[in-house]
């Protein structure tokens, strides 16, 4: 299955809060059909998880009730994924809570700056964080990104989120995504570029290119751009290949992290996964353990998607 022929924003305006409220407490298959009836494409994800069950992930999201019925007949307890951006009419700012990372302070600062203050709905996430829903920008595709140390992720083009009433296990037991508040009725799209610059100011280009340790003519910047363009399902494997390629060319691990880390973040990989993948590549390429690192990306504020899950 493919995405709907016309993006969600070309149809009737979406009342995100009302839609999210309508799925509270219903079975996943019923909720999936309600999203589809509202023109929001969905796809199944693993039970109590975020990984897509379809081969091409969010690229196969559909509003076709027959397809959705078949999916949830096959996987009755599957969680529900929704692609973000213009295709669904929804973009999401994810306020993370992971260990010491808590994004609420950064979100409040951005709200005071007028960057995130006009949301359509708030959804509680099982981790204790929040998904703030906004209408998608109809003028431009805004790519997904993460401002790691701020604890804020943005899910737009080439991203997806897990939506209510999906369930994720926690230390306290299974917990559902749930609507906890709606906006004032004047929701507007987030200026994702301005928000990222506010949360995570950085040079236009991440770190200078690697010096002429390119004994075999390797083009480091081109490889970094290639990593940045990987889609869901290709990102980790692409980062691993690129890391091995650079390490085999004699480029030190810290340079590999500084060059490929930001590119992998922009592709939607979380920082822990980026770090693990680069260390694994180092071990494979050299037969030695990777050197520890304090952080993946230089700059005042940065860190770990689902995959771009937004989720």
Task: Supply 190's token pair.
Answer: 């987030």
pLDDT in tens, 148-161: 889 999 999 999 99
- Segment (H or E) for 45: strand 43-45
pLDDT of residue 98: 83
Q: Write the CB contacts of 128 (distance below 8 Å, at least 6 apart in sequence).
A: 97
Q: Are 70 and 96 in contact, with CB atoms under 8 Å apart?
A: no
For residue 300, count CB atoms less than 10 angstroms from its CB and return exposed for 0-12, middle for 13-18, buried for 19 or more: exposed
Between 90-94, 103-107, 175-179, 281-285, the lowest mean confidence (pLDDT) is in 281-285
pLDDT in tens, 16-35: 999 999 999 999 999 999 99
Angle made by CA atoms 150, 130, 145, in degrees to the nearest 5: 45
Name the pTM for this structure: 0.66
The neighbouring-strand residues paired with 121 are 133, 182
Furthest CA-CA distance within the chain? 60
Matching residue, tokens 């969010």: 58
Beta strands in 55-197 (DSSP E): 79-83, 90-95, 97-98, 101-102, 121-124, 130-135, 145-147, 152-155, 160-163, 167-170, 173-176, 178-182
Long-range CB contact pairs, 103-106, < 8 A, 24+: 103/129, 103/150, 103/151, 103/152, 104/130, 104/151, 106/147, 106/150, 106/151, 106/152, 106/199
CA count, 13 A, side-chain hemisphere, 195: 31
State the DSSP string of 247-266: HHTT--HHHHHHHHHHHHHH
Hey, where are the domains in the chain?
Answer: 8-199, 202-299
pLDDT in tens, 68-101: 999 999 999 999 999 999 999 999 999 999 888 8
Cα 111 to Cα 93, 117, 293: the distances in Å are: 12, 5, 33
């Amino acid at each position: 299955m493919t995405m709907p022929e016309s993006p969600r924003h070309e149809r009737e305006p979406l009342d995100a809060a009302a839609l999210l409220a309508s799925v509270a407490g219903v079975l996943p298959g019923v909720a999936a059909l309600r999203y589809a009836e509202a023109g929001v494409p969905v796809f199944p994800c693993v039970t109590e998880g975020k990984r897509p069950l379809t081969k091409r992930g969010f690229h196969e999201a559909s509003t076709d009730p027959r397809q959705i019925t078949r999916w949830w007949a096959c996987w009755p307890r599957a969680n529900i994924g929704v692609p973000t951006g213009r295709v669904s009419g929804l973009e999401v700012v994810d306020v993370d809570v992971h260990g010491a990372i808590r994004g609420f302070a950064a979100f409040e600062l951005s709200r005071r700056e007028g960057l995130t203050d006009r949301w359509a709905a708030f959804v509680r996430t099982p981790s204790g964080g929040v998904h703030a829903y906004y209408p998608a920008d109809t003028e431009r595709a805004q790519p997904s990104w993460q401002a790691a140390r701020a604890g804020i992720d943005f899910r737009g083009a080439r991203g997806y989120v897990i939506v209510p009433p999906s369930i994720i296990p926690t230390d306290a037991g299974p917990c559902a995504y749930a609507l906890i508040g709606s906006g004032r009725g004047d929701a507007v799209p987030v200026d994702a570029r301005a928000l990222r610059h506010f949360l995570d100011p950085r040079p236009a280009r991440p770190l200078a290119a690697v010096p002429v340790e390119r004994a075999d003519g390797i083009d480091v910047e081109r490889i970094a751009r290639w990593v940045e363009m990987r889609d869901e399902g290709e990102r980790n494997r692409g980062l691993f290949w690129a890391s091995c390629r650079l390490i085999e060319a004699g480029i030190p691990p810290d340079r590999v992290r500084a060059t490929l880390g930001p590119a992998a973040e922009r592709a939607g990989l979380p920082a822990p996964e980026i770090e693990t993948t680069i260390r694994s590549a180092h071990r494979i390429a050299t037969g030695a353990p990777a050197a520890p690192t304090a952080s993946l990306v230089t700059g005042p504020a940065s860190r770990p998607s689902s995959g771009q899950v937004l989720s």
